[in-house]
Amino acid sequence: MFIDIPSELEAALIDCPLPMRELDGPFLAKSTIERYRTELTAAPSFTETATTLRHALTGEGGGYAVLRLGNLAKALRADDSRFLRLATGFAAQVAVPFSPFPRWILWKDIGVKVDKDPGKSSGIGYNAFHMDLVNATRPPDYTTLLCVRPDPLGGGRSILSDAHAAAARLPQECRALLAESAYHYGVFFDLFGVGEEYSPFPVLDGSDLEGFVRFTGKMLQRSQLGQAHADAASQLAEELVRGQVSFMLQPGDYLIVDQRRFLHGREALHSGQETVPVADRRLLLQLFLRAPAAV
């Protein structure tokens, strides 16, 4: 699931003249996607790398991938607009980039705030398994995270778990409870491109273990659930942990996750974050994707 970029492609991409992005509402404009594709497919080995990426995300046993863009990040700086256009160009080979949040144009910053709820994405504690925008009728099909800086103290490993495999290990009576519209979490306002609010929602949103697994570990403590439904969700949480994989994202690593197949989270950051200057703390950039794209 880790995809290295061939050296000849890296060399070509450093000078690749990708244009400034244009948007169509919250989505990257089709004209920009086509221009990116034209420029990028002319680079040596790009087509093969994009094919490998799509297979890792959609093939048997797949569902996530990490593009190793570290050398490009060093050459261009991970937060430079040229590098972000390249990352956006790779993402556009999978699906259509968009931002559901009016505050951010495509890329959303996820930094570290020591005074924030530790379990939040910008907190310092364990960020339990979840899918993004769990309470939207049309959540993003893919969530992506670009590492600008890892935790300099060595914490914050990314965690992933195959949601359908975890659900399949549960007893039938547990899955039946998870398929009932009895769950709710979070607020819903000022969002674009993700449908309407879905509350209450089923965790298993589809028949025969297909579709989204609408789960977030935070709802176990922060939502009023009946005992039976809470117990079923807790059993799923245990199976997600039992089947998890973890790894440390390095500068320039670009994680892409199919939300219909995998849930994601983060281990706690290392203690002592308050001693790290804000400019040196862990920083990720997030981008969402809507499938299908015309590829």
What would the pLDDT profile of 215-246 be if each residue is shown by its tens digit? Answer: 999 999 877 899 999 999 999 999 999 999 99
| pLDDT confidence of residue 295 | 41
pTM of the model: 0.95
pLDDT of 152 strictly over 90: yes
pLDDT of 93 strictly over 50: yes
Average pLDDT for residues 152-180, to the nearest whole number? 97
| pLDDT confidence of residue 294 | 43
Beta bridge partners of 27: 24, 98
Q: Give the Å distances, CA to CA, from 117 to 6, 112, 132, 218.
A: 40, 11, 17, 11
| pLDDT confidence of residue 293 | 45
Classify the phi-psi angles of 63: left when phi > 0, otherwise alpha if psi is within -120 to 50, otherwise beta.
Answer: left
Whole-number mean pLDDT of the chain?
A: 94
Domain boundaries, the chain: 2-163+242-290
Q: What band does 3 get if pLDDT is binned at 50, 70 and 90?
A: very high
Identify the CATH class of 2-163+242-290: alpha beta
Distance, in Å, from the CA atom of 282 to the CA atom of 244, rounded to the nearest integer, reads 22
Q: Give the Å distances, CA to CA, from 226 to 93, 181, 223.
A: 43, 12, 10
Q: Which two tokens stand for residue 194?
A: 């993700």
What would the pLDDT profile of 9-45 be if each residue is shown by its tens digit? Answer: 999 999 998 999 899 999 999 999 999 999 999 999 9
| pLDDT confidence of residue 78 | 78
pLDDT of 292 strictly over 80: no
What would the pLDDT profile of 268-287 be if each residue is shown by its tens digit? Answer: 999 999 999 999 999 999 99
